[in-house]
């Protein structure tokens, strides 16, 4: 699943490639948007909001998408086509001959730009936003103090932008057991670190290396039963079906007591 930094990089790429271009045709292959037509509208901006992506047009419309595990956006050169096996949900032909393609998008909405809150208003403070409010984010995280730390960090209504990888690695880096109640965690330093690491990942670290060593990019994420890089204890793992937040979870029983 794309995380906040991945979406920010994608938004920047799409903005650089398509902002200012006019849609001259295309189609939506989505039940609710089958009759939608953006022809004649200029693409004004692509914006990230947590793990959500917003494309604004000159007609005051916003195309909202969420990639989850399967979705992607790409810009096809003139004459290029997607393979027939690819599930294109959006195809927008641009005035320079290229095509903007949204593939396998599980979440897709078209709303008035003034009504964007309908699709992203539920989100907590965005870690990558210029106006990020760390005090508000801390209060939201600790609003239900008995919630497991990992579940609180992954709840986008509390703070937006952290996916499973970043949340698990941050818990390790701050020696927080993922099952520890969030009310017992000093969330201020954790939020500061999360913000710094996401911003670094957007600018210079697209591989999301958390260890500093690209050969061994993660401390615990995806490393079930392998020795901890720090203490050698086998990394513990709990499958999604056995977690209260429904996500796979990794942690080091030695470092995160």
At 185-216, the pLDDT tens digits run 999 999 999 999 999 999 999 999 999 999 99
Tokens linked to 17: 């490639």
What does the alpha-carbon distance between residue 169 and residue 210 come to, in Å, rounded to a whole number?
Answer: 7
- Domain co-membership, 151 together with 242: yes
Cα atoms found within 13 Å of the Cα of residue 199, Cβ hemisphere only: 12
The pLDDT assigned to 196 comes to 97
Give a yes or no: residue 196 inside a domain.
Answer: yes
What does the alpha-carbon distance between residue 2 and residue 49 come to, in Å, rounded to a whole number?
Answer: 12
Give a yes or no: residue 129 inside a domain.
Answer: no
Could you give the number of structural domains in the chain? 2
What does the alpha-carbon distance between residue 227 and residue 106 come to, in Å, rounded to a whole number?
Answer: 36
The pLDDT assigned to 144 comes to 97
- Residues 9/198, Cβ–Cβ less than 8 Å: no
- Listed in sequence order, the residues at least 6 apart from 37 whose beta carbon sits closer than 8 Å to its beta carbon are none
Q: In which element (H, E) is residue 111 found? A: strand 107-112
Give a yes or no: residue 212 inside a domain.
Answer: yes
Give a yes or no: residue 53 inside a domain.
Answer: yes
Give a yes or no: residue 256 inside a domain.
Answer: no
Give a yes or no: residue 125 inside a domain.
Answer: no
Among 120, 154, 182, which residue terminates a domain? 120
- Domain co-membership, 102 together with 196: no
Q: pLDDT tens-digit profile of 120-160?
A: 999 999 999 999 999 999 999 999 999 999 999 999 999 99
Q: pLDDT tens-digit profile of 35-93?
A: 999 999 999 999 999 999 999 999 999 999 999 988 999 999 998 989 988 989 999 99
The pLDDT assigned to 145 comes to 97
Domain containing 87 equals 4-120
Give a yes or no: residue 126 inside a domain.
Answer: no
The pLDDT assigned to 1 comes to 59
Q: What is the CATH number of the domain that holds 86?
A: 3.20.190.10
- Domain co-membership, 108 together with 12: yes
The pLDDT assigned to 2 comes to 83
- pTM listed for this prediction: 0.94
- Domain co-membership, 96 together with 159: no
Residue 169 pLDDT greater than 80, yes or no: yes
């Amino acid at each position: 699943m794309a995380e906040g930094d991945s979406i920010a990089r994608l938004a920047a790429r799409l903005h650089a490639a398509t902002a200012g271009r006019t849609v001259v045709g295309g189609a939506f292959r989505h039940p609710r948007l089958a009759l939608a037509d953006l022809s004649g509208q200029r693409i004004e901006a692509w914006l990230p909001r947590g793990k959500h992506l917003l494309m604004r047009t000159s007609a005051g419309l916003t195309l909202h998408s969420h990639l989850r595990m399967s979705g992607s956006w790409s810009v096809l050169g003139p004459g290029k086509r997607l393979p027939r096996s690819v599930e294109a949900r959006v195809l927008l032909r641009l005035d320079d001959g290229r095509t903007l393609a949204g593939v396998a998008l599980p979440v897709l909405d078209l709303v008035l730009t003034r009504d964007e809150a309908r699709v992203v208003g539920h989100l907590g403070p965005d870690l990558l936003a210029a106006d990020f409010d760390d005090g508000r984010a801390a209060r939201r995280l600790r609003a239900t103090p008995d919630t497991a730390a990992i579940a609180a960090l992954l709840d986008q209504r509390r703070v937006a932008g952290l996916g499973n990888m970043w949340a698990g690695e941050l818990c390790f880096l701050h020696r927080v057991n993922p099952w520890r109640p969030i009310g017992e965690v000093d969330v201020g330093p954790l939020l500061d670190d999360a913000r710094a690491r996401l911003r670094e990942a957007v600018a210079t670290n697209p591989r999301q290396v958390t260890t500093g060593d690209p050969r061994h990019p993660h401390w615990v994420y995806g490393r079930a039963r392998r020795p901890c890089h720090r203490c050698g204890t086998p990394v513990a793992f709990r499958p999604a079906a056995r977690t209260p937040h429904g996500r796979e979870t990794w942690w080091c029983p030695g470092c995160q007591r």
